[in-house]
Amino acid sequence: MQAARCPTDELSLTNCVVASEKDFKSGQHLSIKTTPTQKFVFTVKTHSSVVPRTIAFSLPQRKWAGLSLNQDVEVSVYNFDPSRQYVGTMTLEIDFLQKKSVDSNPYDSDKMAIEFIQFFTAQAFSIGQQFVFSYCDKLFALLIKDIEAMDPSILRSEQSSSKKQKIEIGLLHGNSQVIFEKSETSSLNLIGKAKTRGSRQSIINPDWNFERMGIGGLDKEFSDIFRRAFASRVFPPDIVEQMGCKHVKGILLFGPPGCGKTLMARQIGKMLNAREPKVVNGPEILNKYVGESEANIRKLFADAEEEQKRLGANSGLHIIIFDEIDAICKQRGSMAGSTGVHDTVVNQLLSKIDGVEQMTTLHVFFTDSLLNHTVPSPGLPDETGRVQILNIHTAKMSQSNMLAKDVDIKELAVETKNYSGAELEGLVRAAQSTAMNRHIKASTQVEVDTEKAHMLQVSRSDFLAALNNDIKPAFGTNQEDYSSYIMNGIVKWSNGVSDILGDGELLVQQTKNSERTPLVTVLLEGSPHSGKTALAAKIAEDSQFPFIKICSPDKMIGFTETAKCQAIKKIFEDAYKSQLSCVVVDDIERLLDFVPIGPRFSNLVLQALLVLLKKHPPRGRKLLILGTTSRKDVLQEMGMLDSFSTTIHIPNISNGQHLMEALELLGGFQEEERATIAKQVKGQTVWLGIKKLQMLIEMSLQVRFLFLNRYSSRLLLVLFNENYSHVC
């Protein structure tokens, strides 16, 4: 027969040769011999326009078979052997047919495979064959890379054998599996399970041995980094896609100088099967010429961006290590009166890491000796908003049956007060990494149990672990801030202490429920060591407000007046972002730098506090302020006392009965010792703060330990009489 041109564009997309109805029937398979040593197998379609004794080929078919028009070919009918020539799995390399039609839209390989099988079922295919496939109004060039025969026992509904047999020519069947792989030079965005099967390259260097890592004392830290940052990159891509999991693109390692931040980043860079890590010290980025600092940032990312555009997801992993990033990354807008060069560098860095054109094949390590303040954010989502955000980020897991039934989204929304949208996404990612880590064996090498991995489910315990260990809100309650103030509990040595807590509860309820008073300010005043801060922290804790912060002078040591005002202002600005907030302004006279002689106080800080104590939060937000002071008289002179809605007096222990009640509650003394002390203080007027009493008791217990239960009560009485007993 003689080779001819395919009569229509539609027929050229069928992958069939076209013949006359007088020569063959549609659906037959033909062996076409082009040379004495070369033959090709095609499926035939008939068309009335084809001249008898000619056979029409599309352009891709002629290129593949090396045919020219009007060339004589030898044609015979070809019969497939069902027992060994049905296609079990066929791997196809795919790319856009025309480069000008390239786009960045994702193409679902699962849906593509279904449509491919429906269109090409019962057709002959050969390894190396080239043809065109139309999908979503786009033309794709396909190249057959591999064909595995279907086990005939499957067709007989019998148990299949695990042995796979490679074949050169196969017949596509409805039960065949089609796998798509991108061409190395393609920019096609391919998603779905029907792509890139088990022969993927591991990101872990095969020659790497964890025992030779050379990092001492940081096993837990490295384990956390591996779980959070690399578990998703070790797992099969199809499972990662089903979970809707995103790869971590950056890690901030922070800690004091010499703790191993840079060493760990460099060793992780060596561990990964990636491009040679780029290591840059933060100050090296800066340049005196305008725009050069930003250009230096762009140069660091240029190689990764170029390879991403050229190879897409097939691009290798690029690693950039920024050492001492705090040298260039200040909080944006924090450097008043400066040229703003730091702001533009930070903006450029953020745009490269998390900009519009995000890269999945990039990993950035930052090392920082100081963990600076986070960048201010807009208001935080309420409980309904958190439910919606969590549903969005767990949707793919739910669809893929990878979200365990014990996960209650509403429960998580309740537990994530003051979490931003990004932090909620981070919570889901952390839970996913915890679940993945169960299927990763990392001894000397990293291994994944792929069979069990396909049954992976993210459970409630994974989310709780992420809540407790990984993701903490940047704004909101940090229990460590106030728990240290009440670590010994509240000693209710008189009904007055219970009354104070009761008054605090009433003020909390007023803040929650009253629409007329969205701002409630309370001053707890009393003598030094009377327990003011502990009571304020207890009231704040019992409020269960999502945002609780303590504004304490011990966190502002060495601050200039301006820096102190900025720090205080930021605490209040953060509080305004939450629906219910409590701020404890502790030891106000210390915040004001008050001393009875010399420069008396900081007027700048005083004016800032006066403004903030009276400033109402935004509409829909409520704020409770608890202040503490030992110098009520000083605040009165400064005009600050009138800024508080109410004042609560915190008394000292003032008589022997209350002292004995406190000693019994605090414990540490035997009954006969308490009786001796009670006899000594009977009828006396005392003046002792509960905090000081706790210190004296601990001192006396040490004496008991050293002197074998002698002199403990005597020491307490001596210290008490010398320092704290007097007539009012």
Active-site residue set:
532-533, 586-587, 614, 691
Under DSSP, the state recorded for 468 is I
CA distance 724 to 652: 11
Q: Which residue has the tokens 């509990």?
A: 489
CB of 80 closer than 8 Å to CB of 165: no
Structure tokens at 228: 């959070």
Beta bridge partners of residue 134, listed in sequence order: 139
Q: Which two tokens stand for residue 630?
A: 């030992």
Partners of 498 in the β-ladder: none
3-state secondary structure of 620: coil
86: Cβ contacts below 8 Å, ≥ 6 apart: 80, 149, 150, 152, 155, 170, 171, 173, 176
DSSP conformation letters of 225-263: HIIIIIHHHHS-HHHHHHHT-----EEEEE-STTSSHHH
- 478: which residues sit within 8 A by CB, 6+ positions away? 472, 548, 549
Tell me which DSSP letter residue 670 carries. Answer: -
Residue 663 CB contacts under 8 Å (≥ 6 apart), including other chains = 669, 674, 677, 693, 697
Q: Do 269 and 319 form a contact (C-beta atoms < 8 A)?
A: yes
Residue whose token pair is 């022969």 = 199
The residues, ordered by sequence, that sit 6+ positions from 370 with a Cβ below 8 Å of its Cβ are 254, 326
Please, what sign has the CA dihedral across residues 428, 429, 434, 440?
A: positive
- E runs forming strands in 335-417: 362-368
What is the Cα–Cα distance from 126 to 129, expressed in whole angstroms?
Answer: 6
Which structure tokens are listed for 244?
Answer: 């809707």
Q: What span, in angstroms and rounded, lies between the C-alpha atoms of 323 and 263?
A: 10
Rounded Cα distance between 203 and 363, Å, is 12
How far lies 516's CA from each of 193, 512, 694, in Å?
57, 11, 41
Which run of H or E residues covers position 148? strand 138-149
Distance from the Cα of residue 95 to its chain's centroid: 33
Taking the C-alpha atoms of residue 603 and residue 434, their distance in angstroms, rounded to an integer, is: 51
Cα–Cα distance, 335 to 343 (Å, whole number): 9
CA distances (Å), 662 to each of 651, 676, 723, in order? 13, 15, 18
Q: Three-state SS for 418?
A: coil
Distance CA 467, CA 78 (A): 64
Q: Which two tokens stand for residue 555?
A: 């966190």
CB atoms within 10 A of CB 432: 28
SS3 category, 460: helix
Give the strand pairing for 547-551 and 580-585. parallel
How far from 707 is each of 30, 667, 694, 715, 721, CA to CA, in Å? 106, 19, 20, 12, 21
In this structure, the strands spanning 318-323 and 278-281 are parallel
Residues 143, 91: Cα–Cα separation, whole Å: 9
Beta-strand relationship, 2-5 and 54-57: parallel
